[in-house]
Amino acid sequence: MPLPVSLVSEDKVIEIGFVTDEETKMGSYRSGNYNFSAALKAKEPVKIDGDGSEWTEGFINLNRSDQFHSLLSLGSVYQGADDLSARTAVKWDDENFYLYADVLDNKHFSTGVTPVNIWQMDSIQFAVVYDPKDELSRSEFEEIAVGEVDGEVILYRHKTRFKGDGDYTKIDGGEAAVVVDGLHTYYEVKIPWSSLMVEKVNIEPGTELKFAMVVNENDGVGRVGYLALGDGIVSSKNSSLFKRLYIRN
């Protein structure tokens, strides 16, 4: 049953009814918390510039205390949406996976680290894997970080399923933009499917991916915590904790 985007962009309790007897109208109902998100098809290729004007629907909001994971050793306490929050969405077309996030942060801080350590700064990490039958090891997926360090945009792959020679920390055809404007930081990413999927997968409506994302928080004293969409990136490398991401028109 197709569901409207508003019901598939976040965890929702969805009640579904089934009529089993046309005369008596008797039936049954089932409700549950469905842990999945939707990626809508891009009407045209997304320009990677951090502008965000092409992103108008399908947003997931990260702005609740239960979505924030505090690193208590640094004394981090979540102060609400004005402290750290994000609106994020995923799009796709036949060639590319796209991600956008508008992050509100009362103090943006990112300086003095190499790309491999961009996760320590204000940044985003996300993970994707195609494993519809749960056949892969839970530690097998693509993990990518995006951010800026002293004005330089960083796009860095931490984990991959690709094998053989080559530097897979770099992503063939990958593009990223990070724009800091006052309290907002706008992230926009494009990754070709050929650089994201080991398998030759025909991405189409109905395709199911596993997906997780974190928004890292650093207020100048170290990584104090992060907002999470799904789990399995920070506390452990475990794709069974990711959300389901469904490809839609």
**Token pair of 115 as six digits:** 């790309």
Return all residues near 113 (Cβ < 8 A) that are at least 6 apart: 120, 121, 149
Q: What percent of the chain has pLDDT over 70?
A: 84
pLDDT at residue 226 tops 90: yes
Average pLDDT on 221-239 reads: 95
Phi-psi region of 247 (alpha: psi -120 to 50; beta: other; left: phi over 0): beta
| pLDDT score, position 37 | 85
Average pLDDT on 7-18 reads: 50
Average pLDDT on 60-85 reads: 88
Average pLDDT on 55-82 reads: 88
Cα 62 off chain centre by: 11
CA pair distance 229, 243, nearest whole angstrom? 8
Q: Using one digit for the tens of pLDDT, what is the confidence trace for 190-204?
A: 999 999 999 999 999
Q: Using one digit for the tens of pLDDT, what is the confidence trace for 31-56?
A: 444 456 899 999 999 999 999 999 99
**Token pair of 23 as six digits:** 């005369």
| pLDDT score, position 88 | 97
| pLDDT score, position 165 | 87
Give the amino acid at 170. Answer: K
Q: Decide: helix, strand or coil at residue 218.
A: strand
Residue-averaged pLDDT of the chain: 89
Q: Using one digit for the tens of pLDDT, what is the confidence trace for 166-187?
A: 899 999 999 999 999 999 999 9
CA pair distance 196, 47, nearest whole angstrom? 19
Check residues 69 and 76 and name the one with the higher pLDDT: 69
Of 241, 236, 183, 216, nearest to 74 by C-alpha is 216
pLDDT at residue 1 tops 80: no
DSSP type of residue 66: G
Check residues 129 and 79 and name the one with the higher pLDDT: 129
| pLDDT score, position 20 | 54
Check residues 113 and 10 and name the one with the higher pLDDT: 113
Q: What beta strand segments (E) does the chain contain?
A: 12-19, 27-34, 36-41, 60-62, 68-70, 84-92, 96-105, 123-129, 142-149, 152-159, 175-181, 184-192, 208-218, 223-229, 243-248
b/e per residue, 67-77, with b = 16+ CB within 10 A? bbbeeeeeebe
Which residue(s) pair with 84 in the sheet? 105
